[in-house]
Structure formats: C-alpha cells, structure tokens
Structure 1
Amino acid sequence: MAPRPVEERMAQPKVIVNLYPVLPAGGEADHAARRPIGRDAALYHSVLHGMTDIVRAADELGVWGVSTIEHHLHSEGYELAPCPGVINAYWASQLKRARVGAIGYVVGTRDPIRVAEEMAVIDHLAKGRFFAGFARGYQKRWTSILGQYNDVQATMSDGSAADRANREIFEERVDQILACWTQETVAFDGKYYKAPYPYATGVEGFPARAVAERMGAPGEIDAAGAVRRVSVVPATF
C-alpha cells in the first residue's frame, strides 16, 4: 500500500481568523469630519454584516476557527466589539465547520457565573464548536468603568499594585468559570466573588427551596432551607 502524501500526514495548524471590527473612513480628515464615527449606525451595520461574509469565506477555506474581541466605548470607530457572545452566537448559525470564539472576554469586568452560562449556551448553538478566550483588560477608558464594582483597573502587566490585583481577580474568575463548567454544583468563597451570597449564611428565605431540595442538584439546599451551593446550567455541549 502506497504511503499517504506527506501533506496528509502532517499535523494541520489551527488557524484562527480574529476579526477587529473597525469602521472605515477616507483617511484621517474624513474620519475626523464624521466624528463620532462610532455612532454611525449604517456604517456599523455594513461592517458587522461584512464580518459575517469574511467568516463564511474563512469557513469555506477550512480554517480551524474564527473569533472576535471585547472592547467598549470606541467612539473613534476602532475596535467596535462590545458583545462578543452575541456575535459568536450569530456566526454559529452561519458556519458549517469552523469553530467560533472570543479572544477574549475581559473577565475582571464580568460576573463569572454569567460568563459561564453565556458561553455554555453559545456552545450549544455552535453544536460544540465554541472555544473560550479570556483577557485581563488594558484599555483604561472602559476597563476602569465596567470594572468599578470589583475595583478592577486596566493593566499593562507592569507589576504595579493595580496590575497584581487585576491578575488576582482574573485568575479567580477563570477558576470559577471552569468550575461552573466541570462541577454539578459550586460554592465560591473567593476574595472577590462569592456564591451563594451572602456566603456565610447562604441564601435564606428562598421561596422555592422545597422544590429545589426535591428536584434540584443534590447539596444545593441545606437542612435549614438555605441555598448553600448553586448548579450553573446549562452544561456545555
């Protein structure tokens, strides 16, 4: 039997086409004349659907995956990508083989349970072709605003106190998201995020505790009727 051609025996690279949605203009003067171009709904609409054309073409070429980013408040028209999950969910309905993902969710500015839920739903829409990416956040304008409830500051990995806190929050969040995907129930007594909340007493007075105790995940409700653990649903595909 003749050996297979070398190109068939070689490991194929995992090519990811990562799209940065930038609103086009005819040079800097035109860009400035149309300020704030980031609010140009018709132009954004065109770029958004043009990105879909690109990922469809990438899918036909056989790339491993396509992805987008997370950035907010770009009135200048650069990196308009506030909702990576929404984009991924739509792309999943348009592609046949390529995986979809975001590189990545800035988790210090987000609730880890919500991220785990959202990504799990997208994974189902993509029929298991979703991949997850996480980032720490380096753009001060929006990271400091959206991260205010955790006191997350943008960082350039400079070793400062803000950088160390950002890293600590990032690592805690990622561990919690992974736990949501891999464990039937979770309880988080983190430095920055706790669940159930309040953690010390659990959630008392939950009206549906009897139903949850009978039909929910084992261990969610304690003997006193308090919510002590939570089951993050759905599970990934």
Structure 2
Amino acid sequence: MFLMRFTERAYVNYTAEDVKNSPNSAVRLTFSNAHFDPQLGSDLYNTYLDEYEYCEEIGFDGLMLNEHHNTPTCMGATMNLEAAILARTTKKPKIVLLGNPLPIFDNPVRLAEELAEIDMISRGRLVSGFVRGTGVESLATNTNPLHNRERFQEAHDLIIKTWTTPGPFRWEGEHYHFRVVNPFETPLQKPHPPIWVPGTGSPETLEWCAEHHYPFVFLETDPEATIDMKTIYADTAREHGYEPGPEHFGYLLRIHVQDTDEYAKEVGKGYLVGNVGVGRLPMPSDYMFPVGYSGRDPKYLALRERIRSDPFRVGGLDTAGYEAILDANRMIIGSPDTVIRKLRDVLSRVRPGILAVWTNDGSISHKDTMRCLELMGQEVLPALREIGEELELTDPFQKAP
C-alpha cells in the first residue's frame, strides 16, 4: 500500500464575521484578499514546507499537494511551485500532484513543460495528477463551466502527446490550437510520469479513468458509496479487457494522532475550520457547482444524488456534527492504537492501494502537527504497512495499473 501525506495548507487568520460580510457570505471566490497578511503567509508557506520535508524522514512514500484558487482554505494556489521546491529538498518520496486543474489552463503545453522540469529535478519522482477543479476554479479564471469536461479531456490528450511524440507537430482541437508544439524538455520518466485522478466519484470521470487505466483517488467519500462507485470503474475496466485491483484505487482520509484519545479529539476540531472555513458558513451552491459543470447522464442520477446528499460532505461539516463524524469514521482521530484499529476497518471495506493521509488542517497547530507526524512514523505507518500486506492492498508501484 502506497502511503502519502496531505494537508490543504489553510490560512485561518480571519473571523466568521469577515466571511458573513463578504459577497454572498462566501469564504471562496469572493472572500476579499484584504484579509490576507503576506507576512503571516510567508511564515505559513515555510512552515508547511518544513512539515512536508519531515514527512520524508518519518517514512511516507509520497508527498501529496493540491491546488485551489481565490480561497484561504488552501494556500496552494500554484502547487507546481511547491512541488518544484520539494523536488529539490527531498530525495525519496514521490511528489504527488492531485492535481492540476486542466480546464483552467489556456496553454497546456506550458503546463507540460513545468511538469517535465519537476520530474527531472526530482530524478523521476513526479506523479502527475489531473483534476477538473471545482466550480470556483472555473469562475475564478473566467473559464466556461459548460466546457469543463471537454477542456479537461482535450488538455490531457495534448499533454500526453507533448510528452510522448517528438515535435514539432501541430494541434488543432476544439478548445486548443497550436501551430507548433515542440517543447525541448521532456519528462525523465518514460513514456511519461504516472497519472492519477482524484475526485468525489463523478461517474463520467470514473469511466474515463478506467478507459485510461488511471488510478482514481476517492476524496473523503462515504465508504459504502465508494464501494458502489468502484463498481462503475470495474465494469468499465472489464469492458476494456482487464480486472482492476487495489492498485487502481486510492482513498483520502483525515487522520490525526496524538498521545491520548482525549487530546487528539480536542485537537482534531481544528479540521472543521480548514476546508470549510472559519465560521463554517455554507458555500453558495452555484460557486461549487455552476450551471453546466456537473454531468447529466440520466443513468447515474440516483448515485449522483446519493453522493451529494452525504451529510458529511465538505460544506456540511459543523461543530454539532463532530461526534457523528468521528462515530462514522469519516475522520480517524485518536491515539495510535485507536487510529490503527479504526483504519483497519476502513481499509478492509474500501480496499485502496493508495492511502492519502490528511494529517492536519485549519487551526491545528504546527506543534501538534509535528507530534502527529512523529507518532505516525513511530507507530501508525509501520502498522499500516502490515495491514496493507495482510489485505493484499497492492499499490501502483508494486503492480502497474
């Protein structure tokens, strides 16, 4: 099982009143950058990079980064810059980008060049994940949400051809037009870096991933719904002549460890002001899912509604629901023994070959984060490796998808 560490790198130096007074009371897209302190931001970026570098020392297989725009909930606005730094300052872990939001790029060839450089600087450790991005990303970059999936797929095809076909060649697509495609730098890994795709289970994306043999990483999805969504991938894979295994699936889960259950539970509340934002005010639905963004295949309406109605989805988290979240194992928080026991149950049900360990977020302090990581290295990661072997959770580097 491949174990990678993740955090959203949140900025929480603002108040609930600030959010309430923003346009549409939204913490994303229209929350003013007047609330941002660059000096604090400088400190936070360096702290987050220090934490990622420590993750190599304690034994994580990968360092996972993501990207969001116009929001304090994720400071990774240009994660490729962070990836380039980690590519140079670390030696062993994979640099896992989950991922670059392809539809918002007007020049995928430039993105292909950036990723090729990261792969070379890291000596071939890049895992290049691609995403459609939330509606916020489309709106923040003035990209028509109606064309989101089309642009995603065409940008992907252009990047793959750029990496694998000697130039110069011409590209005349529906959304991208290049008279000359011929970047001189190409990735170290051949034919190209591994590609993983994260998401919350869009059926159309699951089918597309299965067609391309790409691992799909489920982001905090309900375990039972995840099993149903894996069926969509598996059915499509069989149509294309192969049987998917754990190496085709990943799972992201918030996991925080402290010396005692009681202290871990208190610290873990910090997650609630991370991805949702200080004040935990509901996001306007048209920010995350603007008209034209979501899939419309009628055969998946029931599953899509089930995914959206999940009471623990990001945006519905609140303080009153914290106990329910813990009881349902949607966050695994506690002492090492408690965390290991609960993780065994989740892993046996979901069976991912890739586990993304979301160690901290929101108001969880650097001190508590470092103790969490220390306990991870000492007790949790070794136990997870044993569980992975016991459950035969092969990962993409043990058995190529």
TM-score over 0.5 for the pair:
yes
Match of 1:211 in 2: none
Match of 1:199 in 2: none
The structure richer in helix per residue is: 2
Task: Specify which of 133, 138, 145 is matched with residue 137 of structure 1.
Answer: 133
Residue pair 1:31, 1:37 contacting (<8 A) in 2 also: no
Unaligned 5+ residue runs, structure 1? 1-12, 154-161, 197-228
Distance in structure 1 (CA, Å) of the matches to 2:34 and 2:76: 14
* Aligned: 1:183 with 2:165: yes
Query: Which amino acid in the other structure matches residue 109 of structure 1?
Result: I
Query: Which amino acid in the other structure matches residue 234 of structure 1?
Result: E
Match of 1:123 in 2: 119
* Aligned: 1:235 with 2:193: no
The structure richer in strand per residue is: 2
Distance in structure 1 (CA, Å) of the matches to 2:33 and 2:170: 45
* Aligned: 1:108 with 2:103: yes
* Aligned: 1:72 with 2:60: no
* C-alpha displacement of 1:27: 7.0
Query: Which amino acid in the other structure matches residue 188 of structure 1?
Result: W
Residue pair 1:136, 1:167 contacting (<8 A) in 2 also: yes
The aligned length equals: 176
* C-alpha displacement of 1:68: 1.5
Match of 1:166 in 2: 148
- Look at both structures and tell me which one has the larger radius of gyration over its CA atoms: 1
Match of 2:176 in 1: 193
Query: Which amino acid in the other structure matches residue 187 of structure 2?
Result: T
Taking only aligned residues, the RMSD between alpha carbons, in angstroms, comes to: 2.4
* C-alpha displacement of 1:82: 1.3
Distance in structure 2 (CA, Å) of the matches to 1:38 and 1:16: 32
Summarize the Cα distance change of 1:68–1:180 in structure 2 as closer, same or farther, 3 Å threshold. same
What is the TM-score with the length of structure 2 in the denominator? 0.41
Residue pair 1:38, 1:80 contacting (<8 A) in 2 also: no
Distance in structure 2 (CA, Å) of the matches to 1:235 and 1:177: 11
* C-alpha displacement of 1:101: 3.0
Distance in structure 1 (CA, Å) of the matches to 2:14 and 2:154: 44
Match of 2:4 in 1: 16
Residue pair 1:144, 1:152 contacting (<8 A) in 2 also: yes
What is the TM-score with the length of structure 1 in the denominator? 0.67
Match of 1:152 in 2: 144
Match of 2:311 in 1: none
* C-alpha displacement of 1:100: 1.2
Match of 1:85 in 2: 80
Residue pair 2:109, 2:181 contacting (<8 A) in 1 also: no
Deviations 1:74-107 (A, max 9, x none): 2xx2112111111100111211211113211111
Identity over the aligned pairs, expressed in percent?
Answer: 23
- 1:20-99 alignment to 2 at 5 Å? 20-25=8-13, 28=16, 39-74=36-71, 77-99=72-94
Query: Which amino acid in the other structure matches residue 137 of structure 1?
Result: G
Query: Which amino acid in the other structure matches residue 98 of structure 2?
Result: I
Residue pair 2:70, 2:140 contacting (<8 A) in 1 also: no
Distance in structure 1 (CA, Å) of the matches to 2:127 and 2:66: 13
Residue pair 1:65, 1:100 contacting (<8 A) in 2 also: yes
